[in-house]
Structure 1
Amino acid sequence: MENIYILMLIALIALAAIDLVVGVSNDAVNFLNSAIGSKVVSMKTIMIVASIGIAVGAIFSSGMMEVARKGIFNPGEFYFDEIMIIFMAVMITDVLLLDFFNTLGMPTSTTVSIVFELLGAAVAMALIKIAVSDTETVANLSQYINTEKAVLIISGIFLSVIVAFSIGALVQYLSRLFLTFNFEQKPKIFGALFSGIALTSITYFIFMKGLKGTAYYKDIEGILEGSELYIIGMSFVLWTSLSFVLTRFLNVNLYKIIITVGTFALALAFAGNDLVNFIGVPMAAWNSYEAWTASGVPASEFNMSVLAGKVPTPTIFLFIAGLIMVVTLWFSSKAKKVAATEVNLARQSEGHERFQPNSLSRVIVRGTLGVTKGLSFVLPKSMQKNIGKRFEKPVVNLPKKKVFELPAFDAVRASTNLMVAGILISIATSYKLPLSTTYVTFMVAMGTSLADRAWDRESAVYRVAGVLNVIGGWFFTAFIAFVTAAIFTYLIHLGSITAVSLLLFLVLFILVRNFVKHKEEEKETAQKKVLKREELITAKEVIEETSDHISEVISRANKLYSNVVINLSLQELSKLKKTDKHVLKLNAEVDALKDEAFYFIKSLDDSSVEASRFYLMVLGYLQDISQSISYISKASYKHVNNNHKQLKTDQIEDLKVIDDQLSTMLKEISAIFHERRFGDISRVVDEKEELFEHVSKSIERQINRIRSEESSAKNTTLYFGNLLETKDLISAIMNLLELYQEFHFSMKKANIEV
């Protein structure tokens, strides 16, 4: 029997290692995004500083491990075999849940996931015990769950959303009023004062308050207790004086120091607070196993009240965990995908918005505009004017080819993000509350963005929708974590080691599948020729980039059209549905390009203005192509999905002939643009008549069938619709070719290199 628990313990340790990887991939953005978005410090420097912070924080996090042992449930109410089932269900759920969010590129809370997994698994096990008991009812559930502590933790986690957003917005608003966007031109003392406040906050709360969560605090407790105000005052004077000297006489960039120290502090706070989320459960399982083996009592009779005591985590385990976290930080590609979400929502500039507006975001923005309008009648005009001047953004005159190098936000906002988030997380750590670092850092960043007027009327509805999507994902995390952990607990209780083996196989299968899928997406992104609108500044670059993009769209349209014809002839409903999804993706990509035409036109230099008209017309024809494919795909899928009669053999043969001819032509067009053989365009244009003629003859033959033998109105509607849309598709392609031919010729005539 002991061998079963040894295997479970090994599995838990392996899951802990995996959980560290998937957890850090999601949480790395919490302490990296401010530095990444501001671009004040090089990426290499930030990674080194963050790595040191994680390593130090991991070593100091021993005190937080108690949350996994007794923070959510009362261990004395469970036996060893039951505790191991709870821990196994929690870790399996956690790995699957975090990897799911990493794959989506959405930041979620590792703290919320572990808390609700422990709660769900403990509730499920408690209900199992109550079900087999003759004396207990559901009313006895409260004796199994540490209700007071659980409510405190959960309320603290969700309260942090409001607190972090509000404090972030307030501090940023005051900072901007004090420093403005022209902070670099302000007197040196201004920057020194801001630096003194920021560095004092970071050092005190991280290195003083943060130590309360560690085993090392006892050695210095007598020195620190009662001297807080003195320490704060001395720190402020020291940091402000040092900052003034550095900026006045050595011309040091104080904001670079703040962001570097803040990143270190936030990485340290992250490791100190969040390490429990990844290894707290396996460590509790290890302590449980040691206590059980030493007792000699059967697993089903050994009471786990031993977990209620304080058991320090061996430093070697903390060191190994810290090492895994650091390695993951350097090599995880999924972390970049998650990071992009927060940076895009917080950026000061306009651009492509990832999230689409919804009804709630529109209501919130409309209500905020109403409140703002109301305040304009209350506040004196002079005050409004003065405040407005403090928020005026400086005009940055950069070469157009350098515009894309602008940071997402400035150093003041990055410093505020790090300062406020570090303080809030450190306070929670000092009181041993597993505050969600994701909730805090994300909501602080959103609060500072709002206060900094990064969400204007052009972008607010999209940004608010993005924030609501992320917050909705957090509630989804809590619900799924609770339910899934409860289900896994019940399954393991029923199936014992067999259920554990199957669930571990499920974990392995999903992790491998998601890894392969992620690598394929990375490869597809690397190979995809995406128009870099902010870098397109000359006619030659327009020709180069649009050629690659047209080649790709034509190639995809060719494949999609052939798939529809083949699957329609075979009545393959599932494959038609899959093709329709790919068609929707193509449409979305082309629509996104049209939405960003404004930024493209702004990026052109004065000598390439003619390229604006060309670019817009290219996008128009690409949209016509994608819409024609979309109509053909949707009509075919709808026909088969509604179980209408299959197309007749001669109808299918006509479509296949058209597909063969169209495929040959589209392959040639794709090759022309890929290889830049623009001189061959005229030859392809001349061949279009043959294809048009075949489509026209197919229409005539169908008319004759209707008058003589055709009895299905649905077949006729589908067939006519596909043929007519095919003609529109060919026309759009030919118009695109003629446009390209004309533009290419005009550029040569004007002696412009293409």
Structure 2
Amino acid sequence: MDLVTVLAFVGLALLAWDCIEVGRNDAANIVNAVFGARILPRRLAVALAGVAVILGASLSTPVMETARKGIFDPSLLTLRVAVIAYISVYLVDTVLLYAYSTFGMPVSTTACLIFELVGASMGLYGVSIVHWDKVGTVLAAIFVSIIMTGLAGFLIQRVFRAAVGSRIDDRETILLHGPWICGLMLTGLLWFMVFKGMGSLSVVQSFRESTIDTYTPVFVLLTAWGIATLLVHLFLRVSGDFGTKYLFAGMAVIGMLCLAFAFGQNDLANCASPGLSAFWLWKNSHESVATATKIPIPPWVLFVCGCLIVGGMWTRDAQRVTRAAVNTGSQFDHVALYAPNWCRAVARWIVAALPRRPELAPPPVKTPTGKKLHYDPLRAAVISSASAGVIALASSRGLPVSTTYVAFAAVIATGLADRVLSRGDADLKIGRAIWVVVCWFLAAGIAVVATAVVARLIFHFGVIGLAATAALNLLVRFVAKRRADEQEERVHLRIRESASAEERSQHDQDAEQF
């Protein structure tokens, strides 16, 4: 059996592995808002989001094409070299995503894929093979999506919070402002998810021609906003206190489902395209590399990949990523997080430079079972809705932007809008955000260098090189897991000691008053 055949079938196994790793890390991007607000138990949230992920994955072909052959020119490579490039991406991606996940660090699977493809192609051929214009377009889209989400999340949250304030349970306030706020969210989600995310479907194109193309987008959107506002108002009138209590919680769940659908559309390319490309190249080895990469991918393959992503969302490390993302934007003073001392020092300087103003969010509370409500339902709805809209817009243009970056930007932006990052462990939360961003840049550099080295080892040593790099992958996973568990224990020990100190202080104060 030759090397190409071995790599083709190894690629299928690594495809399943990488799908799980993508689900393991990006779970935080989908359920963190709903989980942080305690709207749904995490298992139920993951189950509902998983259905939407699988549905979105089945419609992800435009993004797949960008990842399969948009980053470098496969026609310049031989069959053997092209397959080595795709497998090298997997050997680095699986361990890189796992290491970040086990430390609770959200990382962009999209950026990792892009830089791994660049590293493999450069390591095997040189800089001339890379489509630098396409790489620049994708990276620009990533940065623009972060800015868009940050600005949108901050402005929307500030406007909605100014209208509702902390009166999230007051019926008169919800009757006054709930309809137009939720109507605007529903209109935005409808626009981005249907006309952008599913714009390639014939039924959507026909509907668009008969509405938007005929009556202009402004008129159609204003009309849709008015209809949605009326429907929400009628719902509140009919449902009574139930509607008042669960209106924004329901919007957060709808936003989560839309984000999950957009995630499935966009991030499937990050784990499926290298393995599918390698297998299709081997299966159609009688054709040129350029021709083989144009073969369409069957929907059932995309469906299976979507199911594997959902499997990764159920893992323990996925819960660690979720908790860390939630704590970074938490309304509570003290949170279980890690950030290096230099990041906390920079954060303290930032906090000291900012003017002291009262926070706008409701005071932090706990559930009857003692669990923290890190967000209120209004903020959770804004986080999930803004993230879903930006990802769906990118997917419609075939750009594999970062769901991680977008969701993280929404959490930080809405936290800044509510002014919840300026007291308590402010230096820790802002320091963690700084550390996450720094690690994103580190991931890019690691992806380029490591993939280039792995590709050269497999190219020169064949099966022996493949076995050696796979063993190195497992070794790094073992070391990362052990160190991450030690870090997690230190963080929780600090929280326990801090809580004990507060209890002793409160006890002393009570004794003095007595």
Over the aligned positions, Cα root-mean-square deviation in angstroms equals 3.2
**Shift of the alpha carbon at 1:232?**
2.4
Please state if 1:434 is matched with 2:400: yes
Structure 2 equivalent of residue 443 of structure 1: 409
Structure 1 equivalent of residue 298 of structure 2: 314
Structure 2 equivalent of residue 277 of structure 1: 270
Structure 2 equivalent of residue 391 of structure 1: 360
Contact 1:172 1:416 in 2 (8 A): yes
**Shift of the alpha carbon at 1:41?**
2.9
Please state if 1:348 is matched with 2:331: yes
String of CA shifts for 1:628-662, please: whole Å, max 9, x gaps.
xxxxxxxxxxxxxxxxxxxxxxxxxxxxxxxxxxx
Question: Which of 446, 449, 467 does residue 501 from structure 1 map onto?
Answer: 467
Please state if 1:328 is matched with 2:312: yes
Contact 1:259 1:415 in 2 (8 A): yes
Distance in 2, Cα, partners of 1:215 & 1:510: 47
Please state if 1:600 is matched with 2:499: no
**Shift of the alpha carbon at 1:369?**
4.7
- List runs of 5+ in structure 2 lacking aligned partners: none
Distance in 1, Cα, partners of 2:285 & 2:404: 36
Structure 2 equivalent of residue 176 of structure 1: 161
String of CA shifts for 1:673-716, please: whole Å, max 9, x gaps.
xxxxxxxxxxxxxxxxxxxxxxxxxxxxxxxxxxxxxxxxxxxx
Structure 2 equivalent of residue 8 of structure 1: 7
Please state if 1:267 is matched with 2:260: yes
- Kindly tell me the number of residue pairs found equivalent between the two proteins: 506
Q: Secondary structure at the match of 2:265?
A: helix
Once the two structures are superposed, the pairs formed by residues 71-110 of structure 1 within 5 Å of their partners are 71-110=70-109
**Shift of the alpha carbon at 1:405?**
2.8
**Shift of the alpha carbon at 1:37?**
0.5
Residue identity (%)? 24
Distance in 1, Cα, partners of 2:280 & 2:203: 21
Distance in 1, Cα, partners of 2:150 & 2:423: 20
Mark the structure with the bigger radius of gyration.
1
Please state if 1:200 is matched with 2:187: yes
Structure 2 equivalent of residue 486 of structure 1: 452
**Shift of the alpha carbon at 1:367?**
4.9
Distance in 2, Cα, partners of 1:591 & 1:60: 45
Contact 1:30 1:441 in 2 (8 A): yes
Distance in 2, Cα, partners of 1:514 & 1:611: 50
**Shift of the alpha carbon at 1:191?**
0.7
Please state if 1:338 is matched with 2:321: yes
Structure 2 equivalent of residue 240 of structure 1: 229
Contact 1:357 1:461 in 2 (8 A): no
**Shift of the alpha carbon at 1:40?**
2.1
Once the two structures are superposed, the pairs formed by residues 100-179 of structure 1 within 5 Å of their partners are 100-127=99-126, 141-142=127-128, 144-179=129-164
Change (3 A) 1:145 1:244: same
2:498 partner amino acid: D
**Shift of the alpha carbon at 1:202?**
1.4
The higher relative CO (CA closer than 8 Å, separation ≥ 6) is in 2
Q: Secondary structure at the match of 2:370?
A: helix
Contact 1:213 1:432 in 2 (8 A): no
Distance in 2, Cα, partners of 1:307 & 1:149: 20
Change (3 A) 1:259 1:72: same
Once the two structures are superposed, the pairs formed by residues 611-690 of structure 1 within 5 Å of their partners are none
1:421 partner amino acid: S
Distance in 1, Cα, partners of 2:202 & 2:274: 19
String of CA shifts for 1:279-330, please: whole Å, max 9, x gaps.
011122233223323x4xxxxxx4x222564x4211111111122222332x
Contact 2:102 2:317 in 1 (8 A): yes
Distance in 1, Cα, partners of 2:125 & 2:452: 10
**Shift of the alpha carbon at 1:423?**
0.9
**Shift of the alpha carbon at 1:470?**
0.6
Contact 1:172 1:452 in 2 (8 A): yes
Contact 2:183 2:225 in 1 (8 A): yes
**Shift of the alpha carbon at 1:437?**
0.3
Distance in 2, Cα, partners of 1:93 & 1:594: 38
Structure 2 equivalent of residue 50 of structure 1: 49
String of CA shifts for 1:606-629, please: whole Å, max 9, x gaps.
9xx5699xxxxxxxxxxxxxxxxx
Structure 1 equivalent of residue 38 of structure 2: 39
**Shift of the alpha carbon at 1:342?**
0.9
**Shift of the alpha carbon at 1:67?**
1.8
1:190 partner amino acid: H
Contact 2:111 2:402 in 1 (8 A): yes
1:147 partner amino acid: W
Task: State TM-score, norm by structure 1.
Answer: 0.62
Once the two structures are superposed, the pairs formed by residues 386-535 of structure 1 within 5 Å of their partners are 391=360, 393=362, 402=368, 404-508=370-474, 513=478, 517=482
Distance in 2, Cα, partners of 1:244 & 1:359: 50
**Shift of the alpha carbon at 1:364?**
5.4
